[in-house]
Structure 1
């Protein structure tokens, strides 16, 4: 995403136009705007499986303590109960030799940015999210996920 979006922005600027970046996952947008480095790292499925099994046996806190040893910055930021994120942080460290916090360090973007955002009251946001989830459930989300899981 970062490479393609960055190239698209450069292309628009090269034609003397002002690019407009709209929507998308907040994490991807901020990664682009804050100059994150992202390792080219395919999923380490076997390592993930091993770490997941360890979390099941020893508890999520044990993995989080290991993360705190190798990457205190990430450990301070990642909730110990968020096993998936803890595993990803350990995976990146084991595969690259660098902590995930190194890869997520923020730098200034190579361009000026004007950020605009829409907000709504938290209660309204939660109500809209609840309605969206209800709609997805009524549209067959559970059956869709079961079908995907059965395909491997």
Structure 2
């Protein structure tokens, strides 16, 4: 249902027309518990979830991306999951374009668009209407950087980026060769670093935006990371990586450079033991969580909820709800969905 002007809603309340479409986002580091909280909030707020994860877009990459199975989504629509083949180099600009379309469609259905994920650039590019510059490409330059990495190692190329663009080097893992090379290429082509371009964004939102961040004690988060990795191995992560290689997905594909894949490939190839692969995966994932938190700390407008006490799940859900209510309390869906507190199922 779409409301205009001062029309009444189905609850008999006067509806106030918002000047901007509403958008909620739940962000936080990997393994902090975003999925469980997002389901409860989506039910209360008549929301459709948009995955803000750069890896869940890929088909056939389920275990390593901690993708929520369809049967566990509780009937809540989830978008931008399983939308492209792992050979496709999905980008932040492509995410932004698709997300904008989805937000308009979900809003037109009278529901709340709800981004949930931990890929900072992806989420921020939508929330604050980033403009991705058309900087072109220099294939010879890219090839030169690739050869340098193959000869001297990914760490050496990352050190080169650190000299040119320290801020980008801070947020990019040395093994993320494609993005490291792209950051070097942007500086090479434009004379302006990628981090400077990002800092120069106006960061005004085209949406009536509510950003909620989840955080917890650092050591507890790292323990959850380790448990998640162990669970992924139990659920068949190594077999998933093996299937992808057998079907011909290149090792240097963007998808295969993601956490859980780049560490396991050498094990599949017989180049390292499983124990070493798991040790590296846990280490890299902890480092990734740290970089995520660093990115989010620089984002504007986030209200943080500490979810360290896992026994207080319902209280944490209520805290997230209250933040959204404080932002959207005059809006139709909040008024109508009070029934959720009386046992409504939201479907």
* TM-score under structure 2 length normalisation: 0.34
Q: Which residue of 2 aligns with 1:130?
A: 226
Give 1:4 shift.
Answer: 1.9
Question: CA 1:64/1:127 → structure 2, altered by over 3 Å: closer, same or farther?
Answer: closer
Q: Distance in 2 between matches of 1:141 and 1:45?
A: 34
Question: CA 1:114/1:90 → structure 2, altered by over 3 Å: closer, same or farther?
Answer: same
Question: CA 1:58/1:126 → structure 2, altered by over 3 Å: closer, same or farther?
Answer: closer
Q: Distance in 1 between matches of 2:138 and 2:157?
A: 20
Higher-helix-fraction structure: 1
Higher-strand-fraction structure: 2
1:67, 1:89 within 8 Å by CA — same for their partners in 2? no
Question: CA 1:101/1:37 → structure 2, altered by over 3 Å: closer, same or farther?
Answer: farther
Provide the aligned length of Structure 1 versus Structure 2: 146
CA RMSD of aligned residues (A): 3.7
Alignment of 1:72-111 (within 5 A): 72=164, 74-79=165-170, 82=174, 84=177, 85-93=179-187, 97=190, 99-101=193-195, 103-105=197-199, 106=201, 107-111=203-207
Q: Distance in 2 between matches of 1:42 and 1:143?
A: 38
Q: Which residue of 2 aligns with 1:144?
A: 240
* TM-score under structure 1 length normalisation: 0.67
Deviations 1:59-113 (A, max 9, x none): 6446644674xxx5x334414972524312123445x646423653432112332
Considering only CA atoms, is the larger Rg found in Structure 1 or Structure 2? 2
Structure 2 spans left out of the alignment, 5+ residues = 1-94, 250-347
Q: Which residue of 1 aligns with 2:128?
A: 34
Structure 1 spans left out of the alignment, 5+ residues = none
